[in-house]
Structure 1
Amino acid sequence: MAADGGERAGLGTDEAVRAMLLHMPRVIGRLKRTPLPERLRSARLAPRHLSLLAYLLFDGPMGVGELAERLEVAPTTVSLMVSDLSRQGVLDRRADPADRRRAIVALTEEPATREAIERWLANGSAAWRKAFEPLTPAERALFVRTMQTYEDEAARGDLPGA
């Protein structure tokens, strides 16, 4: 595994790039093949819904604007996703009692649907927990920052050779 997994004491930049370029397609493929629980199959959920549902599961109900900010998409995009998932019984959308113009989005209270959402997210959560457990808090933070930087740079699309 040292040749592509990097289990040696350290990796040079080129070795690390090679390891990640070989590893990431397998990770992405596995994510795409993660089956939806039966209860959610009719909802036509896609990987983009995973982050939205994870925010609501981990952080609780929030406004459309806050979700858009966290997901780094336009509020209209979130609003369309929320409307679609609300019609399908996956999310609840209600007016904020403090400001009736503001919509608050939450996971449905329906137990079978909520349990299905938790099951869909559980495998990824358990895998990350196992990966992060042996790391120090500083190492975890470094990994998260590294992934954020990779995403930002890959999204730019103006890198050499792109």
Structure 2
Amino acid sequence: MSTREPVDDAVRELMLLMPRLVGRIKRLPPPEQLRSQDLAPRHLSLLSVLLLDGPQTVKELAEKLGIAATTASLLVNDLSRKGVLERHEDDADRRRRIIDISAASRPAVSQWLSPGARAWREAVAPLTAAQRRTVIDTLLAYEASFAVATEQVDS
């Protein structure tokens, strides 16, 4: 009789799955138009928010990404200088700047990020709203736990 806990089987499966997922994602090269932009994973998250949710302020981007507004501003400045993003005045409040993917970059960004969005959509579509929430909460808990574990190793 096995002395393994039932959770060990799930952990084993996930430990084998995660590197495959990350490897597959890393092998998806950016479209030719974006290759010279030296985009990092932090840029992908910001571009995903803009692609899926539309134009945002820096403050809104920071909130959705869970980062400081100054960090979001640095990312926006970096991508704006590269021509990937553009800023517009908010018609309702001229003091506010709205950030969006530039018209010239939108097709390439969409081409690059669409396979991931499509795969997530197919994976979670059969689930109930509660099941989708459980998947998301589990991944968030894993991320938080992994961050703590790696901080302890680094100390």
What is the TM-score normalised by the length of structure 1? 0.82
What is the rounded CA distance, in whole Å, between the counterparts of 2:68 and 2:151 in structure 1?
A: 25
What is the rounded CA distance, in whole Å, between the counterparts of 1:148 and 1:29 in structure 2?
A: 20
> Is the alpha carbon distance of 1:88 and 1:131 closer, same or farther for their aligned partners in structure 2, counting shifts above 3 Å?
same
RMSD: 2.2
Residue 92 of structure 1: CA displacement? 0.6
- Counterpart of 2:79 in structure 1 is 85
AA matched with 1:44: D
Shifted more, 129-138 versus 53-62: the winner is 129-138
> Is the alpha carbon distance of 1:160 and 1:13 closer, same or farther for their aligned partners in structure 2, counting shifts above 3 Å?
farther
2:22 pairs with 1:23: no
Residue 108 of structure 1: CA displacement? 0.8
Conserved? CA contact 1:32–1:47, under 8 Å: no
- Aligned to 1:148, which of 110, 116, 140? 140
- Aligned to 1:108, which of 99, 102, 106? 102
- Counterpart of 1:138 in structure 2 is 130
- Counterpart of 1:41 in structure 2 is 35
Residue 145 of structure 1: CA displacement? 1.3
> Is the alpha carbon distance of 1:135 and 1:48 closer, same or farther for their aligned partners in structure 2, counting shifts above 3 Å?
same
What is the rounded CA distance, in whole Å, between the counterparts of 1:20 and 1:134 in structure 2?
A: 20
The alignment covers a number of residue pairs equal to 150
> Is the alpha carbon distance of 1:158 and 1:24 closer, same or farther for their aligned partners in structure 2, counting shifts above 3 Å?
closer
What is the rounded CA distance, in whole Å, between the counterparts of 1:97 and 1:160 in structure 2?
A: 48
What is the rounded CA distance, in whole Å, between the counterparts of 1:26 and 1:127 in structure 2?
A: 15
AA matched with 1:65: K
Conserved? CA contact 1:90–1:108, under 8 Å: yes
What is the rounded CA distance, in whole Å, between the counterparts of 1:81 and 1:159 in structure 2?
A: 24
Q: How does 1:59-70 map to 2 (within 5 A)?
A: 59-70=53-64
**Please, which runs of 5 or more residues in structure 1 have no aligned partner?**
1-10
What is the rounded CA distance, in whole Å, between the counterparts of 1:147 and 1:83 in structure 2?
A: 30
What is the rounded CA distance, in whole Å, between the counterparts of 1:92 and 1:12 in structure 2?
A: 50
AA matched with 1:75: A
AA matched with 1:94: H
